[in-house]
């Protein structure tokens, strides 16, 4: 994944990240508002302006470093604020807010896949490669964010169905979750291999014969 680090490839990765993360975070905010919590709306996060969502280090610098080191982007945008006590359906509403972001990335990957299939035979090689990178980025964001480790989005889905004891444990570990993820990537090769294999499987499913 992301094997050729040319200037044009890095530019496409950058543009893809900005588009994908902006829509990811905006959908978190919109879903929270749709479910009755206006916290994110009041802070201007229901927006397609990337500057509202991007953290300079976590969103732009960190993914390039981790792509080079792990062949997989690890990143963090500005957290979208929401009040879980104000959304409809309680914990399940909070889970919907959480998974709205990664599901948006999955949808973007599907759209990119559809365009790539439709353009085969007449699109330029550069256009096809840009679409392929866009799909790879969004698949990676979907897979990574669905990991059920706080503070990643997948933890919200697990939290909604977990017993109270596990919920309490997850709440306590949330402040350390990002460091736990880095530790797993660095110290547990099987973890990064699992993420790469999941990415590869999804991409091969979407684009059989093209990757």
Q: Enumerate the active-site residues.
A: 25
The sign one gets for the Cα dihedral 25, 27, 30, 34 is negative
Give the three-state DSSP class for 207.
coil
- How far from 45 is each of 22, 95, 145, 159, CA to CA, in Å? 10, 18, 19, 24
As a whole number of angstroms, the distance between CA 199 and CA 141 comes to: 9
Specify whether the CB–CB gap between 28 and 80 falls below 8 A: yes
Task: Please report, in angstroms and rounded to a whole number, the separation of the first and last CA atoms in the chain.
Answer: 10
As a whole number of angstroms, the distance between CA 186 and CA 9 comes to: 25
């Amino acid at each position: 994944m992301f094997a050729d680090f040319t200037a044009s490839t890095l530019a496409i990765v950058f543009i893809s990240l900005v588009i994908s993360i902006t829509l990811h975070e905006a959908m978190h905010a919109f879903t929270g508002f749709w479910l009755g919590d206006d916290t994110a709306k009041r802070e201007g996060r229901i927006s397609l302006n990337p500057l509202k969502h991007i953290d300079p280090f976590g969103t732009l610098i960190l993914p390039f470093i981790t792509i080079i080191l792990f062949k997989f982007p690890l990143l963090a945008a500005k957290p979208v604020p929401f009040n879980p006590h104000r959304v409809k359906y309680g914990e399940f509403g909070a889970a919907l807010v959480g998974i709205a972001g990664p599901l948006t990335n999955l949808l973007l990957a599907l759209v990119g896949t559809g365009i790539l299939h439709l353009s085969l035979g007449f699109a330029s090689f550069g256009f096809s490669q840009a679409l392929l990178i866009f799909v790879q980025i969004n698949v990676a964001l979907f897979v990574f964010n669905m990991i059920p480790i706080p503070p990643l989005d997948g933890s919200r889905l697990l939290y909604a169905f977990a017993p109270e004891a596990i919920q309490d444990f997850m709440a306590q570990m949330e402040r350390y979750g990002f460091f736990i993820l880095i530790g797993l990537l660095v110290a547990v090769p099987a973890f990064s291999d699992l993420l790469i294999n999941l990415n590869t499987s999804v991409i091969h499913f979407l684009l059989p014969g093209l990757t």
